[in-house]
Amino acid sequence: MSIGLVRLREDSDRIRQGAIDKGEDPAIVDQALVLDGRRRQLLGDSDRLKAERNTASKQIGEAIRAGAAPNGPEVAALKQASTDAGAQIEKLDAELAATESALDALLLRIPNPADPDVPVGDESANQVVRTWGDLLPKDETSDGTAWTRRPHWDIAADLKMFDLERGAKITGSGFPVYTGQGSRLQRALIDMMLDIHTAEHGMTEIWPPALVNAASARGTGQIPDKEDLMYVVPRDDLYLVPTAEVPVTNLHRDEIFEADQLPIRYAAYSPCFRREAGAAGKDTRGILRVHQFDKVEMVFFEKPEASAEALEWLTGRAEVILQRLGLAYRVLLMATKDMGFVQAKKYDIEVWAPGVERWLEVSSCSNFRDYQARRMAIRYRPEAGGKPELVHTLNGSGLALARTVAAIMETYQQPDGSLAVPEALQPYMRTDRITA
RNA sequence: GGAGAGGUCGCCUAGUGGCCUAGGGCGCCGCACUGGAAAUGCGGUAUGGGGCAACCCAUCGAGGGUUCAAAUCCCUCCCUCUCCGCCA
């Protein structure tokens, strides 16, 4: 269940257009509508027969209590009626189950329609919403001496901040070992980010499990959509989390909030494990694409009318981190075909890395509206005693560490080979400079 | 890992095959009483689905099974608690 059946019926035109905008087949919407009609037909027939059977069973009980022989003819007739109904119910329910599973399969293929203010198109339609900070050049002249900014892996080697070869030895490629000040930098960043998000942004800190069960992986859509993304522990039927979004959003699976409990806003650190299948050979140098990295993730549960504004605020809170670190970045509004299947609106934040001369994605902030919430049955009561409605969920990185570390190293490297520590990190690093 | 006890409508709890369309208490929401309140009384108070509606169907940790009929009996699994063992 992803798109709601009620919305499918009442808002089918918009859902159809939403599928087209995201490059999906709109015919699925019509197929789903047909199956929905069939389902309702079967359900009505089955329910009617079940009511008959329940009545017959009740009459058997009453007759026996009134003194009829449990095996007498009067009771036997009633039993027969109930048995006959049961046989028909079995047939109808089998067909119903088949119809529902076919319908569910179709619904899973209908994407969440994008918000009206999202540009329609592919990657080329993405919009740069804003840019912050000065883009440092790779080559520069300071104090009359020309020098070239190096990629982070060279800096790391000199300053012994991480070790990819040994990581490959003990685990495999893409599992960096952070060492010395590099290790401390990891701790410092996690600490700083969580401090800002809790003390200044009012979020509640969460330290979630790094393994989740199948139900949780299904809740956020990792199963079945992105199963190849995750490391699996088959012996225990568990999955290593690709992001804290999975455990943290699932915190409130199958729950109903009172209106005054919302919004709920979490900031959670977790390690993230990604197989990156299909990305082999891409970004093989340094720590731009790794199988294990660390991330502070923000996860919000909002009232529907507040979610659009919440996405802007959420994105801004991720930007705060980059501003404190003094890293240049830009914010992209993702176009319909580049934003993903389940998002209604998404901003990517990319940091400038002058050593590799590239924009690096360090955050992705999304509003899912009720799409995820439906899957996980996360609801709230708009008014006391009223009917529950789905909440809106949002999440965004604040921030992913590995690429942020790369940007810090490339931005703060000095001509003498040392690394300046961004002012905001100095209390956490207990130093203002990292040297060999 | 071993032994035992449990998982019922927000919370506590009753319930060993048909009078359970799940009873009672607490909490909550109405209404009455009151100058206002407390106390008391009366009524209401789960979720999903189907139906214009009356109403109907499903759900007593999950899934199977027995039966005309399952909260109740049987099987498998999950979780919680207690004790033992092991252990960062």
Digit-by-digit pLDDT tens for chain A (436 residues) are: 467 888 888 889 999 999 999 999 999 999 999 999 999 999 999 999 999 999 888 888 888 877 777 777 888 888 888 888 888 898 899 899 889 989 988 998 899 999 999 999 999 999 999 999 999 999 998 888 899 999 999 999 999 999 999 999 999 999 999 999 999 999 999 999 999 999 999 999 999 999 999 889 988 888 877 888 999 988 888 999 999 999 999 999 999 998 888 999 999 999 999 998 877 777 889 999 999 999 999 999 999 999 999 999 999 999 999 999 999 999 999 999 999 999 999 999 999 999 999 999 999 999 999 999 998 999 998 877 778 999 999 999 999 999 999 999 999 999 999 999 999 999 999 999 999 8
The span from the CA of A263 to the CA of A397, in Å, is: 18
User: What is the per-residue pLDDT for A1?
Assistant: 41
Q: Which nucleotide is nearest to A79 (CA to C1')?
A: B68
The span from the CA of A48 to the CA of A40, in Å, is: 12
Asked if strand B contacts A116 at the CB level, meaning under 7 A, the answer is no
Contact in structure between A165 and A177 (CB atoms under 8 Å): no
User: What is the per-residue pLDDT for A78?
Assistant: 85
User: What is the per-residue pLDDT for A29?
Assistant: 94
Asked if strand B contacts A129 at the CB level, meaning under 7 A, the answer is no
User: What is the per-residue pLDDT for A268?
Assistant: 97
Considering the domain boundaries, does residue A375 fall inside one? yes
Residue A423 vs residues A122, A166, A294, A325, A420: alpha-carbon distances, Å: 39, 31, 22, 7, 9
Claim to verify: residue A199 and residue A236 sit in the same structural domain:
yes
Distance, Å, A63 CA → B19 C1': 12
How many domains is chain A built from? 2
Considering the domain boundaries, does residue A208 fall inside one? yes
Claim to verify: residue A66 and residue A160 sit in the same structural domain:
no
Distance, Å, A295 CA → B81 C1': 36
Q: Which of A157, A279, A410 is nearest to A420 (CA)?
A: A410
Give the alpha-carbon dihedral of A352, A353, A359, A365, to 10 degrees.
-60
The enclosing domain of A9 has a CATH number of 1.10.287.40
Q: Among the three residues A50, A74, A107, which one is the final residue of a domain in this structure?
A: A107
Q: Which of A89, A81, A93 is nearest to A50 (CA)?
A: A89
Q: Print the SS3 string covering A291-341.
A: CEEEEEEEEEEECHHHHHHHHHHHHHHHHHHHHHHCCCEEEEECCHHHCCC
Considering the domain boundaries, does residue A249 fall inside one? yes
Claim to verify: residue A306 and residue A173 sit in the same structural domain:
yes
List the Cα angle A241/A247/A253 in 5-degree steps.
140
Claim to verify: residue A150 and residue A74 sit in the same structural domain:
no
The span from the CA of A382 to the CA of A265, in Å, is: 18
Beta bridge partners of A367: A345, A394
Q: Which nucleotide is nearest to A47 (CA to C1')?
A: B57
Considering the domain boundaries, does residue A114 fall inside one? no
Claim to verify: residue A254 and residue A392 sit in the same structural domain:
yes
Q: A426 is in which domain, residue-wise?
A: 123-434
Distance, Å, A133 CA → B64 C1': 62
Asked if strand B contacts A388 at the CB level, meaning under 7 A, the answer is yes
Considering the domain boundaries, does residue A116 fall inside one? no
Considering the domain boundaries, does residue A320 fall inside one? yes
Q: Which nucleotide is nearest to A81 (CA to C1')?
A: B68
Claim to verify: residue A197 and residue A77 sit in the same structural domain:
no
Asked if strand B contacts A14 at the CB level, meaning under 7 A, the answer is no
Cis geometry, peptide bond prior to residue A136 (ω within 30 degrees of 0): no
The span from the CA of A253 to the CA of A244, in Å, is: 15
Q: Which positions of chain B lie under 7 Å from any protein Cβ?
A: 18-19, 28-29, 45, 47-51, 56-58, 68-69
Claim to verify: residue A366 and residue A409 sit in the same structural domain:
yes
Q: Among the three residues A56, A75, A107, which one is the final residue of a domain in this structure?
A: A107
Claim to verify: residue A263 and residue A335 sit in the same structural domain:
yes
The enclosing domain of A398 has a CATH number of 3.30.930.10
The span from the CA of A182 to the CA of A172, in Å, is: 19
Claim to verify: residue A282 and residue A408 sit in the same structural domain:
yes
Distance, Å, A368 CA → B22 C1': 39
Provide CB contacts within 8 A for A372, sequence distance 6+. Answer: A219, A220, A221, A249, A342, A378, A393
User: What is the per-residue pLDDT for A2?
Assistant: 60
Claim to verify: residue A149 and residue A61 sit in the same structural domain:
no
Chain A 32-71 residues in 7 Å CB range of strand B: 40, 43-44, 46-48, 50-51, 53-58, 60-62, 64-65, 70
* Sign of the torsion formed by the C-alpha atoms of A123, A324, A265 and A262: negative
Q: Among the three residues A75, A107, A139, which one is the final residue of a domain in this structure?
A: A107
